[in-house]
Amino acid sequence: MDSSNQKFNPADGSGLLGAIPEKPMAPGGMPYGIAEKLPDNIPESVPGITATVSKEPEAGIDDFYSEDLINNIFEISNELYIKMRDPATSAEEDHLTIIRLLTDLGRRLVNADRASFWRLDKEAGTIWTLSATGTGKIEIPIGTGMVGKALTEGRSIVTNDPYNDPFFNAEVDKKTGYVTKSILVMPITNSRGEYIGAYQVINKIDGDGKFNIRRDCKRLSLAAFICSITLESELFLADAERDRLTKVRNRIGFYHDFSIRYGDGIDRRNNAGGSMIMCDIDHFKAVNDTYGHNAGDAVLRHVATLAANTIRKDDVIYRWGGEEFIVLLNDTDIDGAVATAEKIRTAVEASECIFDGTAISVTVSFGCSKVDPAKSAEENIAVCDRRLYIAKETGRNRVVKEG
């Protein structure tokens, strides 16, 4: 029976993710999971927390339970507990805090100089760091680099001679002067066994300076497991706050972001001022009636994309519902909001949405207001909505900031 496509069940050890290794078990095998010895059918990789392992026992593996490691775990756990009890910390910040601290925990557990936790973004075609010690955000195409190799092959990998590995990207080292000597990458999965990211540690700083795939993967397993759960939760949250049709944030995302900035969220401490734009596609019903609802969907995507590409990086557009959108602008007064709305208005007016070979032209009306942090989200929206109504009643395809 070919079991190469069976899934490994960590509960009872049944099933396989990879082919059965031909290498025989070394005498006096070391403990693995709840078994007394490594099973003969140990897989090349296991979803979630486990990784590629060698069947050679590693002397001194009991030092996993050394006092220093226990202290490191306690220190990170205590910091996590304090951060997560802070009422000003949002769910999104919870996730990022957990990932940042666990990235550092993984670095300590294997005694490495640097560590990073990567997210696989299939929609964007990239892999990028949610957290990285010693460097800023790194983003690379899927399938490239050591992380890309580990995700493509679905197994943990180690290289103790990176500059001679064809998958190693030395560009960061060339720019920063850093010297990479050893790398371990452990891919992580979601609850369905789909790869969603990877854990990477760089430059072992004890012993011979080389990573051991069995010993160090065992040490990383706790941090990697919790990171996988956290990342999956973050992806669920991001999906829930995004409009499936237009790919911009939705009403749930708006309430979340408004609360963070103007409600009880941490950003309110900065007393950051901001403005709001509410807009509506003119005569949208006529588009649906004339060209069909699929054409209407194409117009919604067209307008959302134009608006998203027009606003600044720190500003956010939301699909409020139907053909209405809201834009939140950070550190912007009412005149700045009007200027942004005019840019969007002229961009839409000058463009055409091509659907099934037909060019469809639309215009958009706008209402703008300064956000009043003392008022609720609904009260602030009501001001914008009233001005949007005036824009509609006075000829459409215009921006109104008063009324």
Per-residue pLDDT tens for 342-375? 999 999 999 999 999 999 999 999 999 999 999 9
| Range 242-258 average pLDDT | 93
pLDDT of residue 284: 97
The pLDDT of residue 158 is above 90: yes
SS3 helix, strand, coil % of the chain, rounded to 5?
40, 20, 40
Using CA atoms, how far residue 312 sits from 199, 280, 303, 316, 377, in Å, is: 32, 20, 16, 8, 22
- Burial category of 164 from C-beta neighbours within 10 Å (exposed 0-12, middle 13-18, buried 19 and up): exposed
Give this prediction's pTM: 0.58
DSSP-assigned beta bridge partners for residue 325:
279, 319
Cβ–Cβ under 8 Å, residues 199 and 106: yes
- Burial category of 219 from C-beta neighbours within 10 Å (exposed 0-12, middle 13-18, buried 19 and up): buried
Confidence of residue 136 (pLDDT cuts 50, 70, 90): confident
Of 90 and 124, more confident:
124
Pairing state between β 364-370 and 399-400: parallel
Confidence of residue 11 (pLDDT cuts 50, 70, 90): very low
The pLDDT of residue 61 is above 50: no
pLDDT of residue 226: 73
pLDDT of residue 108: 86
**Whole-number Å distance between alpha carbons of 183 and 203:** 6
**Whole-number Å distance between alpha carbons of 46 and 153:** 13
User: Reading across the β-sheet that carries 139-141, which strands appear in turn?
Assistant: 139-141, 126-132, 112-121, 195-204, 183-189, 157-159
Domain range list for the chain: 61-240, 251-400
Cβ–Cβ under 8 Å, residues 113 and 203: yes
Per-residue pLDDT tens for 163-180? 999 999 888 888 888 999
Per-residue pLDDT tens for 367-400? 999 999 999 999 999 999 999 999 999 999 999 9
Per-residue pLDDT tens for 24-47? 333 343 322 222 233 333 334 333
| Range 57-72 average pLDDT | 53
The pLDDT of residue 124 is above 60: yes
pLDDT of residue 33: 26
Q: CATH topology for 251-400?
A: Alpha-Beta Plaits (3.30.70)
| Range 120-133 average pLDDT | 89
Are domains 61-240 and 251-400 of this chain identical in fold? no
**What percentage of the chain has pLDDT greater than the value 90?**
50
Per-residue pLDDT tens for 70-121? 666 666 666 655 655 554 445 455 667 777 887 888 888 889 999 999 999 9
Pairing state between β 364-370 and 358-360: unpaired
Cβ–Cβ under 8 Å, residues 117 and 105: no
CATH of 61-240, one of 3.40.50.300, 3.30.450.40, 3.20.20.70, 3.40.50.1220: 3.30.450.40
- CA-CA-CA-CA torsion sign (22, 53, 56, 114): positive
